Chains A and B, each alone.
Chain A
Amino acid sequence: MKRWLMWFGVVLLSLGVMAQEEAAPVEEAVKESEEKPEESAEEEKSEEEKEDEILEWPTLPEWSEGDLEKLKTGEIVPGRELLKELTGELTLPPLPETPEEELPPEPDPEEEVVEVDPTVIEEQFLEPYFGRTPASFLIDPQETLARQEYRDRESFLAHHAGDSEVNLYVYLFDAEQQLPEGATIETVFDEHHARSGPTAVVFYFLGRPERSLIALSESIRTVVSQEDRERALRVSIQEAYEKSDPSHQLENFSVELSIRLYWFEKAMAIPGGVEPEEDEALTANETLPPITLPMPESEALKLLTKSLWAVIVVVFTVVITWVGRLIARRRLRHVFPEVEIEPMLGAPHAAGVGAVVSFSSSQLPPSQQRDQVPDYLQRM
């Protein structure tokens, strides 16, 4: 009974709250109801009786202004206590948080799109490239490589420097970039690397290995011929082209060049190396093909002619020898020592009895058809 009463009270309370939310006080509603047309006396009577009954009930809880605020904010949910009793612990889902919309920054009308010339090295990078002695073996102020790629390549060059007497510095440029006027690999080498022992400096254009330039110390150039230096660069470029990714190309390039520098170092250890044909630093221009340089046609023709002559001479010699042996064999006469044996069995010339073989059966081998049986056991 108490539960039913509580239910009733709660319903009334909810209705009251709803009425308050709609800014319609209960009192006004009561007034409206009082202002309604007259109803039957019985009905009035019954309402009076009802009011008397209501007055006998316990007083309803009163809602304060604070409760109303709490209800609005959701701290108080009507019926929560009842639902707890029915279903046990009730956990309401958390209210979704409404994230603040991140609006894209409004474009700055003053900022203009500047078209960058891919062939030009920006002013800010000239100093790191050409103005100071590099602190690491891989110089990439434009960050053409990703950080991890840079670390990998730089660590390899550092490792090479630890192993080899010849340090290898690689300046990285973008594929189409042109060196600024007055800045050459020779000037960079002379200004920053000439006094640091055997060194190789490479200007490497990422994605265009064939544009690579190399400069070597005087001590290397006096020992290693220009042809060998040229071959080293060419082979390194070829090795780079084994890969398609520019970063991997650089890896292949630097590994191969490192190997070649190792051989240069070995040549330097041998006294009396080959004199270089030119003192200038070797450069590989853009027309250097990524594959081996084709042999000049005249040289190839000469080589072919020589090979052909060698083959002809060998064949001729073999044929002459063979014919000579054939002729000699044909002319050769086989002579036996003259022996004369005393006749036997009364035969004047011959008593040599050789083998007799029958060929009557194709199933039996000759050894089983060999006639060894005395005649008197056969037909005689």
Chain B
Amino acid sequence: MVMKCPRCVQRVHRAADLCPHCGFEIREADRAFGAQEVRLKCLTDAAGVLRKRERETARKMLEEFQRKFPQLFFAVYFGTFRELPSLRQFGFWLLNRGAFEDVEVSRPNQCGVLLSVDVGGKSAGISFGYNLQPFLTEDTTFRALSAAHPYFLQEQYLKAMEVVVDRLSKTLRRQAKRARRDPELFTPDDIVSEDGKGEMLERIRANHRTKLPKL
């Protein structure tokens, strides 16, 4: 598993508090986007690019993803960021500070995949939680975005979203099979103990209960 810094895109050693190359950490993102956590839904169309019917379709699509993957959730954020410094940093920040209202508590943000689309800046990025780090890579996410690229160009955002969700679903399905056959392939060396897991879940639930202003 190779981790990269959201700012300098350099490799970062696991469990590093700061990026050894640029000194980036979550507080840097908090300073850019806000220190407080935000409440939002899996599908957030802040840019207003989807019609009502398309939003319904998109929601069903995301529900279907959750049905197939009982531990995971997929979130999509359409926004227009005039002063946004980096879509990669925004995705990193949102997946850490966002509280997704329509996601069950049993699906923490560590198990989330976020597709963030800067409609004004014409760029799209994917971020994912800790639990998916063994199963997703930058390359697999790039392939999913490449498949949806023609639809992004034509501003068919629903179709582009559908393609990204579908491609990532296939990747995750394959990885789940592989993990079932050979779990050791995806077991990191520094697995957190069962006690630690309970603490994290509690923290997530606390975040969900906190009412925060919307972004």
Which residue of chain B lies nearest to A355 when distances are taken between CB atoms in the complex? B142
* Closest CB in chain B relative to A338 CB, distance in Å: 7
- Decide: A350 and B149 in contact? CB cutoff 8 A: no
A33 and B23 alpha carbons, distance in the complex (Å): 173
- Decide: A345 and B123 in contact? CB cutoff 8 A: no
A27 and B197 alpha carbons, distance in the complex (Å): 175
A357 and B92 contact, Cβ closer than 8 Å, known pairs A336-B71, A338-B197, A341-B133? no
- Decide: B9 and A373 in contact? CB cutoff 8 A: yes
| Neighbour of A372 across the interface among B9, B152, B173, CB < 8 A | B9
Is A374 located at the chain interface by the 8 A CB criterion?
A: yes
| Neighbour of A349 across the interface among B19, B67, B95, CB < 8 A | B95
Return chain A residues, CB-CB under 8 Å to B133.
341, 351-352
Return chain B residues, CB-CB under 8 Å to A338.
71, 131, 197
Return chain B residues, CB-CB under 8 Å to A332.
68
- Decide: B204 and A349 in contact? CB cutoff 8 A: yes
Query: CB-defined interface of B113-153 with A at 8 Å, one 1/0 digit per residue?
Result: 01000000111111111111111101101100110010011
- Decide: A360 and B96 in contact? CB cutoff 8 A: no
A378 and B92 alpha carbons, distance in the complex (Å): 18
A375 and B179 alpha carbons, distance in the complex (Å): 35
Give the residues from 1 to 29 in chain B that come closer than 8 angstroms, CB to CB, to chain A.
Answer: 1, 3-10, 12, 14-19, 22, 24-27
Is B60 located at the chain interface by the 8 A CB criterion?
A: no
- Decide: B190 and A341 in contact? CB cutoff 8 A: yes
| Neighbour of B123 across the interface among A357, A372, A376, CB < 8 A | A357
Is A1 located at the chain interface by the 8 A CB criterion?
A: no
Is A296 located at the chain interface by the 8 A CB criterion?
A: no
A371 and B124 alpha carbons, distance in the complex (Å): 10
Give the residues from 159 to 215 in chain B that come closer than 8 angstroms, CB to CB, to chain A.
Answer: 172-173, 175-177, 179-180, 183, 186-188, 190-192, 196-197, 200, 203-204
A346 and B131 alpha carbons, distance in the complex (Å): 16
- Decide: B187 and A349 in contact? CB cutoff 8 A: no
* Closest CB in chain B relative to A295 CB, distance in Å: 53
Is A359 located at the chain interface by the 8 A CB criterion?
A: yes
Name the segment of A145-153, A308-316, A362-370 touching the other chain. Answer: A362-370
A349, A357, A373, most chain B CB atoms within 10 A? A349
Return chain B residues, CB-CB under 8 Å to A376.
7-8, 22
* Closest CB in chain B relative to A365 CB, distance in Å: 8
Return chain A residues, CB-CB under 8 Å to B136.
352, 354
- Decide: B188 and A370 in contact? CB cutoff 8 A: no
Is A60 located at the chain interface by the 8 A CB criterion?
A: no
Return chain B residues, CB-CB under 8 Å to A360.
122-123
A337 and B177 alpha carbons, distance in the complex (Å): 11
Return chain A residues, CB-CB under 8 Å to B125.
354-357, 371
Is B86 located at the chain interface by the 8 A CB criterion?
A: yes
- Decide: A344 and B15 in contact? CB cutoff 8 A: yes
| Neighbour of B130 across the interface among A340, A366, A371, A373, CB < 8 A | A340
- Decide: B141 and A350 in contact? CB cutoff 8 A: no
A224 and B125 alpha carbons, distance in the complex (Å): 82
Which residue of chain B lies nearest to A332 when distances are taken between CB atoms in the complex? B68
- Decide: A334 and B132 in contact? CB cutoff 8 A: no
- Decide: A375 and B14 in contact? CB cutoff 8 A: no
Is A116 located at the chain interface by the 8 A CB criterion?
A: no
A339 and B188 contact, Cβ closer than 8 Å, known pairs A334-B69, A375-B89? yes
Query: CB-defined interface of B79-95 with A at 8 Å, one 1/0 digit per residue?
Result: 00000011111011001
| Neighbour of B7 across the interface among A348, A357, A372, A374, CB < 8 A | A374
- Decide: A367 and B146 in contact? CB cutoff 8 A: yes
- Decide: B5 and A349 in contact? CB cutoff 8 A: no
* Closest CB in chain B relative to A323 CB, distance in Å: 19
* Closest CB in chain A relative to B88 CB, distance in Å: 5
- Decide: B129 and A350 in contact? CB cutoff 8 A: yes
A356 and B8 contact, Cβ closer than 8 Å, known pairs A349-B130, A350-B110? no
Q: What 4 pairs between A and B have smallest CB-CB spacing? A: A354-B141, A354-B126, A349-B109, A355-B142
- A345-B25, A346-B18, A360-B123 known, 20 other contacts, Cβ within 8 Å: A334-B69, A334-B173, A336-B172, A340-B197, A342-B190, A344-B3, A344-B12, A346-B26, A350-B92, A350-B96, A351-B6, A352-B133, A353-B5, A355-B138, A356-B88, A358-B121, A358-B123, A372-B9, A375-B88, A379-B85
B residues contacting A by CB (< 8 A) are 1, 3-10, 12, 14-19, 22, 24-27, 67-72, 85-89, 91-92, 95-96, 108-110, 112, 114, 121-136, 138-139, 141-142, 145-146, 149, 152-153, 172-173, 175-177, 179-180, 183, 186-188, 190-192, 196-197, 200, 203-204
Please, could you name 19 A-B residue pairs with CB atoms under 8 Å apart, sorted by A? A335-B69, A336-B72, A336-B132, A340-B110, A341-B131, A342-B14, A343-B130, A344-B15, A345-B17, A349-B110, A349-B204, A350-B92, A350-B109, A350-B112, A351-B6, A351-B12, A353-B88, A360-B122, A373-B9
